[in-house]
Amino acid sequence: MQSSGARRAILYIGRTDRGEAWARITRAEAPDIDFRIFPDLGALEEIAYLAAWTIPPGFLARLPNLRVVFSVGAGVDQLDLAAIPRKLPLVRMIEPGLVTDIASYAAMAALILQRRLPEYLEQAQNGVWRPLNAAPTAETPVGLLGLGMLGQAAAASLRPLGFPVLGWSRSPRQVPGIACHSGRDGLAAMLARSRILICLLPLTEETHGILDAELFARLPRGAGLVNLGRGGHLVEPDLLAALDSGQLAAAVLDVFSTEPLPRGDPFWTHPRIIITPHIGAVTTNVGGMAALLANIRRFERGEKLEGEIDRARGY
Ligand code: NDP
Ligand code: OXD
């Protein structure tokens, strides 16, 4: 534990506009803490907290008194986890803005797929006026891979629209209004019913490449896919093959193995793929900084941090 009276600083590495907003909030709400924006480091020994999306290789070794590493996002896989000493607490972002964003994105994507928007966009390109049958939401079960903060937020926005919601987690869960599954058998049972599948898993050794040909084959023919997790969850050639064969009808993708998605990538021009540039949920200035400061206060009181990563599980 560190005395809250000691001179200490947060170093932020990330988007400058957010850094400037967080510096203003810190000056107003926590004047006892110095907020620095990379590469303006100041005295390195004063840096107790690091808040970053990614960290330059080898940089942590320059911070002798670092106490906690905070991810500015809900996920931590974008950080080089092997380079962060295990004795340092690593904390993900938990803030209401992320929950609101994912809830609206999940609803939007499910409706895009259920109402067959990719096909209407393709028809419009060719001046074709042809109504298509769409199963009602009540007959369009949505399976959620991941039933954590964001999976549950997605469920909360889908249920009022009439979608039956199923969910899959690592450990067994009971969430009202969601048919919960866990384990390999649970996954197979959920996939068999999911007309739309939404990935909201963290990227770990266990979940890497989970969205592959074998998984697609377990979905009902003509299902839709939404990837809101990470690009590493998806085996991209397997998605193209599943769309070409009709096993999947369409996909809404927010995350990619390489970001920005390179020019010339076949996803850009595929008529059944809708692309957004990793905006599913974006940490807000006010909610994000409030969460960060609340966690620093907890840490300095010797209390449990909210969102600390279990390094063995990887999330
Ligand atoms: P949580 O840690 O709250 O939830 C993760 C869920 O995934 C839990 O239900 C967990 O199971 C489950 N899970 C993890 N590993 C496995 C596994 N091997 N098998 C089955 N289930 C598993 O994370 P969040 O909901 O906050 O965030 C999820 C992810 O969303 C982030 O890690 C990030 O990758 C992504 N994200 C994407 C954004 C975007 O803009 N596209 C924005 C923010 C986040 P259990 O309940 O048993 O622990
Ligand atoms: C996050 C993200 O993890 O933006 O928060 O993807």
Per-residue pLDDT tens digits for 99-135? 999 999 999 999 999 999 999 999 999 999 999 999 9
202 Cα to the center of ligand 2, angstroms: 10
Instruction: Kindly state if the Cβ of 248 falls inside 6 Å of ligand 2.
Output: no
Q: How many CB atoms lie within 10 A of CB 262?
A: 11
Residue 163 has a pLDDT of 99
Residues pairing with 143 in the sheet: 166, 197
262: Cβ contacts below 8 Å, ≥ 6 apart = none
How far is residue 202 from each of residues 67, 77, 92, measured CA to CA in Å?
24, 8, 11
User: Could you tell which of 94, 200, 233 is best to mutate to test the pocket of ligand 1, judged by most ligand atoms within 8 Å of the CB?
Assistant: 200
Q: Contact 247/221 with Cβ under 8 angstroms?
A: yes
CA distance 159 to 146: 16
How far is residue 205 from each of residues 66, 90, 162, 209, 315, measured CA to CA in Å?
27, 18, 34, 9, 10
98: Cβ contacts below 8 Å, ≥ 6 apart = 74, 149, 150, 153, 281, 282, 283, 284, 287
Residue 2 has a pLDDT of 47
How far is residue 123 from each of residues 129, 272, 311, measured CA to CA in Å?
7, 11, 48
Torsion sign, CA atoms 67, 71, 74, 80 = negative
62 Cα to the center of ligand 1, angstroms: 31
How far is residue 277 from each of residues 43, 45, 229, 315, measured CA to CA in Å?
36, 37, 13, 23
Residue 7 has a pLDDT of 84
Q: Divide the 315 residues of the chain into consecutive groups of 10 and give the mean pLDDT of each group.
A: 69 97 98 98 98 97 98 97 96 98 99 98 97 98 98 98 98 97 96 98 98 98 98 98 98 98 98 98 98 98 98 96
Structure tokens at 312: 């063995």
Instruction: Give the H/E segment covering residue 27.
Output: helix 16-29
Which residue's CA is the nearest one to ligand 1's atom 20?
A: 170
Which listed residue (181, 195, 272, 278) is catalytic?
278
Which listed residue (18, 230, 233, 272) is catalytic?
230
**Is 208 marked active-site?**
no
**Is 270 marked active-site?**
no
